[in-house]
Amino acid sequence: MQVNRALRSCSGGLLAFVFAAFAMIHNVGATSSNTDVTDIWWNPAEPGWGLQMVNTGTFVFATGYIYGVNGEPLWVTGELSRIGADLVTFTGPLYITTGPYFGGTFNPNAVSSRRVGTMTFVLNTVSVGQLTYTVDGVPVSKAVQRQPLTLDNYNGSYVAVVTQTAQGCSNPVNNGTSTGAGTVRITQNGSSMVVVTNLDGTTCTSIGSFAQLGRMGRLQGTYSCTTGEIGNAVVFEMNNVPYMFTARLQSQSTNLGCSTSGEIAGLIPR
């Protein structure tokens, strides 16, 4: 979307305010090393079991709710560390923990755990991964994806910071990286979404379909700008908390040739 050209002369006061907000919320739903894998993961063809992961920096605590050979629920936990520089991969020891009956007096001395194998999780895309683990010598390999629960609500008018890089433009002057601030208005009705950006007098409107991928959202659609630019856009890794959101974006102009990628963070002023 044509924010690259429009961001170059935003007002200093607005930039100062939004950059301060961006500094506070930039790490919402993000980690220091990779796309945040914190979520509930499952295989929709195999309902009834799943994996919940909490990702902090280069570490993941994983809780798997699976079944034993007798069909009874089995709880396993993994302590996974980031390895490798290419595909986002976490691996580490896997444990089974036992403890006192939940309905009685809790005795911490009755809690015990033993290592039963190793768990590895590979993030293939933002929302799809490969899970492999071993429990007492039995290997398992499963394709998993983020499990959607309910649609997040992004409705609101935000003050936003956008950082992006454009390349391949027919006019080379439009290539390059820029960062700036403006306003974003999001209107959402279920899975339909309209995003209107206003940056330095240029308004761009994106219309498309919103999908909830676990705790992250994705908007795919088309856009048009008051400058005459048109194209296709996707806004992904969308995360929101009260009064704010963060996301990544990619767009392809069909008349200017620009391929653009970047990040956006928005805050509803109070």
Residue positions counted in the chain: 270
pLDDT for 199 equals 82
How far is 183 from 181, CA to CA, in rounded Å? 7
Q: Which residues have CB under 8 Å from 49's CB, separation 6+?
A: 42, 43, 64, 65, 66, 67
Is there a single domain that holds both residue 140 and residue 221?
Answer: no
Domain boundary among 79, 112, 146: 146
Q: What is the mean pLDDT of residues 182-201?
A: 93
What integer pLDDT is reported at residue 87 of this predicted model? 87
Q: What is the DSSP letter of 30?
A: B
User: Does 194 score more than 90 pLDDT?
Assistant: yes
Residue 197 has pLDDT above 60, yes or no: yes
Q: For 216-230, what is each residue's pLDDT tens digit? A: 999 999 999 999 999
In this structure, the answer to whether residues 55 and 132 fall within a common structural domain is: yes
Give the residues across from 249 on adjacent strands. Answer: 235, 262
pLDDT at residue 31, as a whole number:
58
In a domain, 1, yes or no: no
- Which of 124, 146, 168 terminates a domain? The answer is 146
- pLDDT value at position 85? 75
Strand partners, 166: 176, 260
**pLDDT digits 0-9 by tens, 19-42:** 444 444 444 444 556 899 999 999
Q: Mind listing the pLDDT tens digit for each residue in 114-129? A: 999 999 999 999 999 9
* Distance between CA atoms of residues 217 and 90, nearest Å: 23
pLDDT at 193: 97
Indicate if 58 and 21 belong to the same structural domain.
no
Domain that holds residue 133: 45-146
Buried-exposed string 38-69: b where 16+ CB fall within 10 A, e elsewhere: bbbbbbeeeeeebbbbebeeeebebebebeee
Residue with tokens 């306003």: 183
- Choosing from 146, 163, 188, the residue where a domain stops is 146
81 and 155 part of one domain: no
- 132 assigned to some structural domain: yes
pLDDT value at residue 33 = 65
Domain count, the chain: 2
Distance of alpha carbon 214 from alpha carbon 236, whole angstroms: 12
Collapsed DSSP state (helix, strand, coil) of residue 261 = strand
